[in-house]
Chain A
């Protein structure tokens, strides 16, 4: 991950913890999210990420996103520089 992607990943973690009330551990940026977050948290995390970074993630974008690293990379590609941390 680049520095920028790492900052985005940290921000996504913050969203999960502070805004979505996620309390469990996360195994790391390269582990599949599906094995760690249940579908409710996962679904609301996608919406929260879209909202925070002002992007729209279509279902086929999301299909190739398995890990926090993937998600951070997708956000880095799509989001306008001024909304990035």
Chain B
């Protein structure tokens, strides 16, 4: 079956760059909130003026239209200067994540160097200590125009007029997951970003007289970048930004900024709602009024109904309306949003049987809550298909396919991966789900991605950490993202033990697995399952099948192959003879041939 979103309204402008001239005259702007809640305000006019100077400086240093420019900056004015400055001179920004700091620098530099190379960036823009640190990555990737300091670029006196791009021109390269093993550069055109911005405006109905957008999301990825920064800059309307690391250290900054700025729209991955409910202190919420928050969008990872209710329960005394919690679904390859649910409903899901769903692909009543992510946004169509590509009806678990004007052009420089993802104008999201009453429920995925706290990770990142670990069978471990009862996804490691490993050491081995994965990746596995050799399912060519391993784990069917002995072989043969005999007896009389 196909779900069809409302028609996309006529484009407001050919591209978002066309919107800047008018937005520059608006009196709203962006407010940066510091850890101590001190604020810096830049009107959109100033933001675009700085971008014009950065754009001129980039062009003077040899950046030509269509060149990719990697940007490694935190949530700070310099990010806006560099991103918009790149657009100003017709270049294509490639935002990369800044270092997480303390340790793991070698892995970070290797991943960054790889992303600079894969994206074909001709220049890297950074600043201060980050720029000094990036030396190692720049040396490896050797972008022809080197690594520039954002502060110096914005300090020039020259101003360039923006180069207005064609809608089909490349606008942005963003990485769907950033690892050394498999970074996937998603290439989006200006037309796609414009269509997404229009769809978001259509969905959220912003109103200049009362709406303000508040975000602590990283600016180097779609939800914070396209949904918040570009949305607000081109709408235009007030935007309040908090650095993600500040939110993590002091989660109360988020609701407090919403109350102070009368924020009405704010989005975050599911974990953030649970994090606020658990970590914010009563004293930090005292006197806050959150009745202004009309859309609390929740996406980027599996959605937990329980976490949403805990959040609502915690903030309702401060005027927060639980009906503002709006689960959404999207992915970088679709430039952000695919579906939006409607506000005004209690944060409740349906209860299904996870085993029947994993085993038979059928929705049946059970105890696992799955939350609806709603209907397609404007311009988007969605289909559920089985493995052979046939459309599935309601209540059947299948792959989610998406079509619309905001899909990626492809993975940059990877026609093979692009052909696997895009078929006949449709995107295979790699996610699994089902449709009931015209709404999508996402449950599990067919692609090998582990989503932790809203960020996508290639499983190879975690598996590589286990290479050479004594006690494990080499190359026989998989990392999967498993959704638990709370509805939140967590990293699970399934690893086969080496033959002859004493079972008494299981606990120590599991602890060691946990430690090496955490040390290499910054993510602690929630569970480590040690398995007998040969338990993990493989393809005919011997490749490990992660999705199938997870499906079997969830269906309680992850078991080692039974040992074949002479006696057992004889028993199997006898059983099969019996089965043949039964089948012969049960066969209906053959119809006479005509």
CB B357 to nearest CB in A, in angstroms, measures 30
Cβ–Cβ < 8 Å partners of A58 in chain B: 128-130, 132-133
A63 to B429, CA, bound (A): 37
Quick check: B245 and A62 within 8 Å, CB to CB?
no
- Please give, as numbers and ranges, the residues of chain B lying within 8 Å of A34 by CB-CB distance: 102-104, 518-519, 522
Closest 5 CB pairs of A and B: A58-B129, A39-B522, A34-B103, A35-B519, A47-B249
Let me know if B246 is at the binding interface, CB within 8 A: yes
How many residues of chain A have a CB within 8 Å of chain B? 29
Contact in complex: A46, B245 (CB < 8 Å): yes
> Is A83 an interface residue when CB atoms closer than 8 A count as contact?
no
Separation of A43 and B35 alpha carbons in the complex (Å): 14
* Contact pick for B518, options A35, A65, A66, CB 8 Å: A35
Cβ of B421 within 8 Å of any chain A Cβ, yes or no, is no
As a 0/1 sequence over residues 100 to 112 of chain B, the CB contacts with chain A under 8 angstroms (1 = contact) are: 1111110000000
Besides A32-B519, A43-B100, A63-B105, 16 other CB < 8 A contacts? Answer: A34-B102, A34-B103, A34-B519, A38-B523, A39-B521, A40-B453, A43-B248, A47-B35, A47-B250, A51-B35, A58-B130, A59-B133, A62-B99, A63-B99, A65-B103, A66-B102
The residues in A between 42 and 80 inclusive whose CB is less than 8 angstroms from any CB of B are 42-48, 50-51, 57-63, 65-66, 71
CB neighbours of B522 from chain A (8 A)? 34, 38-39, 42
- For residue A20, CB closer than 8 A to chain B, the reply is yes
A60 touching B245, Cβ below 8 Å: no
B72-102 Cβ-contact flags toward A at 8 Å (1 or 0):
0000000000000000000000000011111
Asked whether A47 lies within 8 Å of B102 as measured between CB atoms, the reply is no
In the bound complex, CA of A61 to CA of B248 (Å): 21
For B518, the chain A residues whose CB sits under 8 A away are: 34-36, 38
Please give the distance in Å from B461's CB to the nearest CB on chain A. 12
A39 touches B523 (CB 8 A): yes
A81 within 8 A of B: no
- Verify if A28 is at the interface (C-beta below 8 Å from B): no
Contact, CB under 8 Å: B102 / A33:
yes
Contact partner of A60 (CB less than 8 A), chosen from B132, B279, B521, is B132
CA separation between A21 and B252, bound complex, in Å?
A: 14
Q: Residues of B with Cβ closer than 8 Å to A?
A: 35-36, 98-105, 128-130, 132-133, 245-246, 248-250, 278-279, 453, 515-516, 518-519, 521-524
Q: How far is the CB of A56 from chain B (nearest CB, A)?
A: 9
Q: A39 vs B250: C-alpha distance in the bound complex, in angstroms?
A: 15
Knowing A39-B523, A40-B248, say if A62 contacts B515 (CB, 8 Å): no
Residues of A within 8 A of B515 (CB): 35-36
When the two chains form their complex, are residues B103 and A42 in contact, meaning their CB atoms are under 8 A apart? yes
Given that A38-B524, A42-B522, A47-B245 are known contacts, is A60 also in contact with B453, CB under 8 Å in the complex? no
Which chain B positions have C-beta within 8 A of A20?
A: 249
Among B101, B130, B250, residue most surrounded by chain A Cβ atoms (within 10 Å): B101
How far is B100's CA from A35's CA once the two chains are assembled, in angstroms?
Answer: 14
C-alpha spacing A42/B249, complex, angstroms? 10
Cβ-defined partner of A61 (8 Å) among B36, B129, B250, B516 = B129
Closest to A39 in B: B522
Contact A46 B519 (CB under 8 A): no
User: Smallest distance from the beta carbon of A78 to chain B beta carbons, Å?
Assistant: 13
Q: Nearest Cβ in chain A — how far from B451, in angstroms? A: 14
> In chain B, what residue has the closest Cβ to A57?
B101
A36 to B523, alpha carbons, bound, how many Å? 10
**Contact yes or no, A60 B133, CB < 8 A:** yes
Residues of A with C-beta under 8 A to B524: 38
- Give A17 to B299 CA distance when docked, in angstroms: 29
The CA of A48 and the CA of B248, in the complex, are separated in Å by 10
Q: Is the CB of A51 within 8 A of B249?
A: yes
Report the minimal beta-carbon distance from B530 to chain A, rounded to whole angstroms.
20
Across the interface, name the chain A residue whose C-beta is closest to B129: A58
**Chain B residue with Cβ nearest A40:** B248
Q: Chain A's nearest CB lies how many Å from the CB of B71?
A: 15
Q: Could you say which of B103, B132, B245, B279 contacts A33, with CB atoms under 8 Å apart?
A: B103
Q: Kindly identify which residue among B35, B103, B129, B130 contacts A66, using a CB–CB cutoff of 8 Å.
A: B103
Q: List 6 A-B contacts (CB under 8 A).
A: A20-B249, A21-B278, A34-B522, A40-B248, A58-B130, A62-B102
Q: What's the least CB distance linking B96 to chain A, in Å? A: 13
Closest-by-CB residue of B relative to A66 is B103
Give Cα A57 to B133, complex, Å: 12
The interface residues of chain A lying within 8 Å CB-to-CB of B246 are 47
Task: Kindly identify which residue among B133, B249, B453, B521 contacts A63, using a CB–CB cutoff of 8 Å.
Answer: B133
Task: Please indicate the chain B residues that have their CB under 8 angstroms from the CB of A59 in the complex.
Answer: 98-99, 101, 128-130, 132-133
- Chain B residues closer than 8 Å to A47, beta-carbon distance: 35, 245-246, 248-250
Residues of the A chain whose Cβ atoms lie less than 8 Å from the Cβ of B129 = 58-62
Q: Given the complex, which residues of B lie within 8 Å of A32, measured CB to CB?
A: 103, 519
Nearest Cβ distance between residue B380 and chain A, in whole angstroms? 32
The distance in angstroms between the C-alpha atoms of A68 and B560, with both chains bound, is 42
Q: Which residues of B contact A63 (CB under 8 A)?
A: 99, 105, 133
Q: A41: nearest residue on chain B (CB-CB)?
A: B248
Q: CA A57 – CA B129 in complex, angstroms?
A: 9
Which A residue's beta carbon lies closest to that of B515? A35
Q: Chain A's nearest CB lies how many Å from the CB of B289?
A: 26
With the chains together, A21 CA to B35 CA distance in Å?
A: 18
Q: Are A48 and B249 in contact (CB under 8 A)?
A: yes
In Å, the complex CA distance between A71 and B103 comes to 11
- Alpha-carbon gap, A59 to B100, bound state (A): 9
B129–chain A nearest beta-carbon distance, Å: 2
Taking CB atoms, residues of chain B closer than 8 Å to A61 are 129
- Chain B residues near A42: list those with CB within 8 A: 100-103, 522
How many angstroms from the CA of A39 to the CA of B99 in the assembled complex? Answer: 11
A36 to B102, CA, bound (A): 12
User: What's the least CB distance linking A84 to chain B, in Å?
Assistant: 20
- Looking at A38, A39, A59, the one whose CB has the most chain B CB atoms below 10 A away is A59
Which residues, 17 to 35 on A, are CB-close (under 8 Å) to B?
20-21, 32-35
| Min distance, Cβ A25 to any Cβ of chain B, angstroms | 11
Q: Which residues of A contact B248 (CB under 8 A)?
A: 40, 43-44, 47
B136's nearest neighbour on chain A, judged by CB, is A63
